[in-house]
Amino acid sequence: SLLIAAATPVALYLVFERMFQVSLPHGALADVLGF
């Protein structure tokens, strides 16, 4: 369940980024993922 809890915000971030083309604040998570 810990893995799901960690993956959920990442999945939501990617969904909003792709579907709505919203330029979300690029923080540490974005840097790690390469955005």
Q: What is the largest CA-CA distance in the chain?
A: 29
- Residue 29: which of 4, 1, 5, 7 has the closest Cα? 7
- Per-residue pLDDT, 21: 63
Domain count for the chain, please give it: 1
pLDDT tens per residue, range 1-35: 899 998 998 898 888 777 766 555 556 666 676 65
Range of the domain at 9: 2-33
- Per-residue pLDDT, 7: 92
> pTM for the complete prediction?
0.42
- Per-residue pLDDT, 27: 64
